[in-house]
Amino acid sequence: GAVVSQHPSWVICKSGTSVKIECRSLDFQATTMFWYRQFPKQSLMLMATSNEGSKATYEQGVEKDKFLINHASLTLSTLTVTSAHPEDSSFYICSAVVARDTQYFGPGTRLTVL
Would you tell me which residues interact with other proteins (CB under 8 A)?
Answer: 32, 34, 42-46, 49, 91, 93, 95, 97, 100-108, 110
Question: Minimum distance between the CB of residue 83 and other proteins, rounded to whole angstroms?
Answer: 26
What's the CA gap between 20 and 6, in Å, rounded?
11
Q: How many beta carbons lie within 10 A of that of residue 105, not counting itself?
A: 15
Cβ neighbours of residue 90 closer than 8 Å, sequence gap 6 or more: 37, 38, 39, 111
Indicate the residue among 34 and 67 with the shorter CB distance to other proteins: 34
Question: Minimum distance between the CB of residue 84 and other proteins, rounded to whole angstroms?
Answer: 20
Indicate the residue among 17 and 54 with the shorter CB distance to other proteins: 54
What's the CA gap between 24 and 96, in Å, rounded?
9
Indicate the residue among 18 and 112 with the shorter CB distance to other proteins: 112
